[in-house]
Chain A
Amino acid sequence: MNATPVTETPAEIKNPEPQRGGGALSFLRAQLQQSLAFATLVVLLIFFSFASNNFFTWSNISGILLSTAVIGILALGTTFVIITGGIDLSIGTGMTLAAVMTGIFLVNLQLPLVVGVLGGIATGALMGFVNGVNIAILKLPPFIATLAMMLIAQGLALVISGVRPIYFSGVTGFKNIALGTLIPGLPNAVLILFVLAIVAYLMLSKTILGRYTFAIGSNEEASRLSGVNTRKWKIMIYTVAGVFTGIAGVVIAARLDSAQPQLGVGYELQAIAAVIIGGTSLLGGRGSIMGTLIGALIMSVLINGLRIMSIQTEWQNVVVGIVILVAVFTDSLRQRRSAS
């Protein structure tokens, strides 16, 4: 059966090029989208280098990277969730709870370093798992389920720590997790961010979990009818986000050499902003790890640069807010154009 079907546009049958051209075009467009975010980053870098001599120094750059690490790790995990069309508001305080639990394991219980660190990560994973169950099995809206988890984690972090920071000064080697330099000049926290970004990239674009993340975000019902166990995968995806939250908790604790139970609120919104600036759609089905990484960098370059130019913190927030608006607006413009 080789009969060529006469589909709607006979011109296309004679010449299948337009289709392939369309594929190449959409690929180009996807590249452009990222390179646009990338271009923004480059422009910011150039601008701040001219605006201040202190900006383009290695110590400042490595400072920027260090401050990107925590938000970046959170953003990586939440990229998965947002691509499914969901949201995770519990990552900020979840990170705090993971840090506090690491403190409990290492300082109060004096467990070995590896066990304590894994315990902290497991705390994050458990919260993600509970989120996933609430959303996939109990069918709670992600916003509600993770908002509740955000409050629960915040409360638990305060209760467990007795509203006092836990200091890791007695735990040898813990601080090095974030501040040591396996690669000379580069803090380990940054190394962790980059390694995790590669892992997340591979998971999202090369594994079955990534494929179903996009599929669920694109059309959950269709995925389910195609025999994809959407409940199971949603639980997995929220758990993955939880693992990233847990790792962020360990990293921030190591960076501050203490678990600060009051910290954490607001981190979730910064992480979500980084994901959105990176071109991931809040409606689901579309997004990339590279974009998220660039988005996170844009945020911290901006904050750092404004600080170096001695602009007040209050105004820094205003600028970041405007950048988010502009980023999302240009993205929706691009989308509208490609849709027609």
Chain B
Amino acid sequence: MPTQLLAVHGISKSFPGVQALKDVQFELNRGEVLALVGENGAGKSSLMKILSGIYTKDAGSISLEGAEVDIDSPKTAQTLGISIIHQEMNLMPHLTIAQNIYIGREPRGGVFLRERALNRKATELLQRLGIALDPREVVGNLTVAKQQMVEIAKALSFDAKVLIMDEPTSALTESETETLFRLIEGLKQRGTGVIYISHRMEELRRIADRVTVLRDGQYIGSLEKHELDITRVIDMMVGRHLEEGARPSSDRHRGDVVLRVQGLSTRHLLDDVSFELRRGEILGFAGLMGAGRTEVARAIIGADPIDSGTVEINGKQVRISQPSDAVRHGVGYLSEDRKLLGLLLEQDVNSNILLASLRDYTDALGFVHTPKGKQKSREYVKSLRIKTPSIAATTKNLSGGNQQKVVIAKWLARDCDILIFDEPTRGIDVGAKEEIYRLLNDLVAQGKSIIMISSELPEVLRLSHRIVVMANGRITGVLENEDASQAKIMDHATRMGVEKEYSSR
């Protein structure tokens, strides 16, 4: 017998040039997990930001436990018992874990902070949640996944009635995701209502009690757990039927080696990494988070110093000591942390797309030919289906997934021969994922070569011709696609500690 916790009706919200939400409704019961799904830019985050007091709604009503409420600031939302984990990281990197969790609610005596009480509270909380982190650790030193766990702990520390999670798992590994799901189950028992946003369809069946679908800012419908069917959800999301592509076939022509990496080692992690990339190939990199896949990419493009090892491009040994050298040699890198490393958030979409290829649109005198560049930008906006009012819109205002697409467009525009994609589809909706897969396949068909780092095994299997598996800074296996399976990859990915003690870091 469900009791209603939150009811939302007729919510509308528009931004200059965009109607983000149009007459949206949904309900949330006590002890229920409601999954909210929709394509990139469908309005999920905007709706949640209205509930958590960050945006003000243009129209509509929100009632909590039967009484209509007016949520005018993040603080009000907190006091009402609505807590949110934002899609984009929202932590203060210079502060410790404990300080981050209890920011704005520090235990104090008079004007003074009680640091010891703060750390004690945080320790208790982390223990209760089963998160193995030291509360005195500075957040900036943590990996993205651990930072995400801190965000989750912070949101859970409020003992909220309504807990909103906007793509909490996009940076988590499978086991961390599992921890999170167990936490959510515990919350359900206590009667908390959870709104869960994700692009990972397989998660819906695992934890959702009900699924509500948004498309283009409109409410499309809801499905109860017993009528939950993933293909149906996807059809509702994209408004058309999606065909899933096949795995790459093995009977194709093998090109020459374009990139050969030999004996790559770094002081911190990498240990004797050697592999080669062939023309027209997608080489997948699989492994657990922290296995060193990103480090390999960063070492190759010269973002981090290497201790030893050589890199050959087209048979010639090259010295790459900074990322601009890499670009000069035709190697492009799409970083996993788009907000920090990949985008100029305050700039418009056009400048971001052309950022890496500006030279192609500049004449001998250094003047930039804008019309040609803009034409190119518009093409990418169209082919990647980037949802933006125009290419002059500020990138910050795009939805998370659409920002990711802008980063991809930037490297496609650059026309590199070797592209390294680090988690290219993180936070991207199912429809657009297929679109990006198609683009990657087109690129290799044109003779480019791609290294694709991904934590989503289905994606690795779906795209890569060969798969390199890493664990603890070493390569533990290289698999041909036809020999590979999720189980085999996991087997290689968890082979560690045999040759190398981790503590020697």
Contact of A5 among B74, B94, B154, B179 (CB under 8 A): B179
Q: A1-B129, A13-B132, A207-B112 are in contact. Are A215 and B496 (CB under 8 A)?
A: no
Indicate if B350 sits at the interface (CB-CB under 8 A).
Answer: no
Interface segment out of the listed B98-106, B198-206, B214-222, B441-449: B98-106
| Bound: A207/B109 CA distance, A | 9
Given contacts A227-B78, A340-B304, contact A11 B134 (CB under 8 A): no
Whole-angstrom distance between the alpha carbons of A209 and B138 in the complex? 19
Other A-B pairs, 10, CB within 8 Å; known A6-B176, A18-B505, A214-B94: A1-B182, A2-B130, A9-B290, A9-B502, A10-B494, A11-B502, A18-B502, A22-B141, A214-B95, A340-B305
A22 to B133, CA, bound (A): 12
* Residues of chain A with a CB closer than 8 A to B461's CB: none
A8→B136 contact, CB < 8 A: no
Chain A 1-36: CB-based contact to B (< 8 A → 1; otherwise 0): 111111111111101111110110010000000000
A218 contacts the other chain (Cβ, under 8 Å)? yes
Question: Could you give, for residues 200-215 of chain A, a 1 whenever the CB lies within 8 Å of some chain B CB and a 0 otherwise?
Answer: 0010001111110011
Q: Is the CB of B91 within 8 A of A206?
A: no
Tell me which residues across on chain A come within 8 A of B503, comparing CB atoms: 11, 15, 17-18
A-B pairs with CB below 8 Å: how many? 143
CA distance A223 to B503 in the complex (A): 35
A 213-252 to B, binary, CB cutoff 8 A, 1 in contact else 0 = 0110111011111111100000000000000000000000
Known contacts: A10-B496, A214-B94, A215-B92. The answer to whether A22 contacts B137 by CB under 8 A is yes
Whether, in the assembled complex, B86 has its beta carbon less than 8 Å from a beta carbon of chain A, the answer is yes
The answer to whether A19 touches B99, judged by C-beta atoms less than 8 angstroms apart, is no
Q: Is the CB of B90 within 8 A of A226?
A: yes
Check if B186 is an interface residue, CB within 8 A of chain A. yes
Within the complex, which residue of B91, B104, B108, B137 is in contact with A23, where a contact is CB–CB below 8 Å?
B137
Q: Are A4 and B132 closer than 8 Å at their CB atoms?
A: yes
How far apart sit A191 and B32, CA to CA, in the bound complex (Å)?
Answer: 63
Question: Which residues on A sit within 8 Å (CB–CB) of B324?
Answer: none
Does any Cβ of A come within 8 Å of B173's Cβ?
yes
Contact check, A3 vs B130: say whether CB atoms are below 8 A apart: yes
Interface residue? A261 (CB, 8 A): no
Assuming the contacts A8-B288, A207-B111, A221-B90, asked whether A215 and B95 have C-beta atoms less than 8 A apart, the reply is: yes
A residues at B contact (CB < 8 Å): 1-13, 15-20, 22-23, 26, 202, 206-211, 214-215, 217-219, 221-229, 285-286, 340
Chain A residues with Cβ below 8 Å from B501 are 11
**Would you call A206 and B112 a contact (CB within 8 A)?**
yes
- Contact sample, A vs B, 9 pairs, CB 8 Å cutoff: A5-B132, A9-B502, A11-B497, A18-B503, A19-B134, A23-B136, A211-B95, A226-B154, A227-B104
Q: CA A4 – CA B91 in complex, angstroms?
A: 24
Q: Are A214 and B106 in contact (CB under 8 A)?
A: no
With contact pairs A1-B183, A227-B74, A285-B94 given, residues A26 and B138 touching in the complex (Cβ less than 8 Å): yes
- Which of B91, B146, B175 meets A6, CB within 8 Å? B175
Would you call B137 and A8 a contact (CB within 8 A)?
A: no
Per a CB cutoff under 8 Å, which of B104, B176, B179, B497 touches A226? B104
Q: How far is the CA of A23 from the CA of B133 in the complex (A)?
A: 11
Specify which chain B residues have a CB less than 8 angstroms from the CB of A208 in the assembled complex. Answer: 106, 108, 111, 113
Write the chain A residue with the least CB distance to B186. A1
- Inter-chain CA distance A4–B502, complex, in Å, is 19
Q: Are A1 and B137 in contact (CB under 8 A)?
A: no
Residues of B within 8 A of A (CB): 54, 73-75, 78, 86, 89-95, 99, 103-106, 108, 111-113, 115, 128-134, 136-138, 141, 143, 145-146, 149, 154, 173, 175-176, 178-179, 182-183, 186, 268, 288-291, 304-305, 472, 494, 496-497, 501-503, 505
Complex contacts, B494 vs chain A, CB 8 Å: 10
B52, closest chain A residue (CB): A225
A211 touches B113 (CB 8 A): yes
The answer to whether B173 and A209 have CB atoms under 8 Å apart is no
B307 to chain A, nearest CB (A): 12
Given contacts A5-B179, A7-B175, A207-B112, contact A219 B130 (CB under 8 A): no
Q: Are A286 and B141 in contact (CB under 8 A)?
A: no
A222 to B86, CA, bound (A): 10
Bound together, the chains give a CA A4 to CA B304 distance in angstroms of 32
Q: Which residues of B contact A202 (CB under 8 A)?
A: 112
The list of the 10 closest CB pairs from A to B, nearest first, reads: A11-B502, A8-B290, A5-B179, A218-B92, A285-B94, A6-B175, A218-B94, A222-B90, A8-B289, A227-B104
Point out the residues of chain A lying under 8 angstroms from B179, CB to CB. Answer: 3, 5-6
Residues of A within 8 A of B496 (CB): 10-11
Q: By the criterion CB–CB under 8 Å, are A20 and B92 in contact?
A: no
Contact of A211 among B106, B154, B497 (CB under 8 A): B106
Least Cβ distance of B50 to chain A in Å?
Answer: 14
CA distance A103 to B489 in the complex (A): 79
Q: Within the assembled complex, what's the spacing in Å between the Cα atoms of A340 and B295? A: 11
* Complex CA distance for A206 and B117, rounded to whole angstroms: 13
Complex CA–CA separation, A47 to B351 (angstroms): 53
Query: Bound complex: CA of A22 vs CA of B137, how far in Å?
Result: 8
Residue of A nearest to B110 (CB): A207
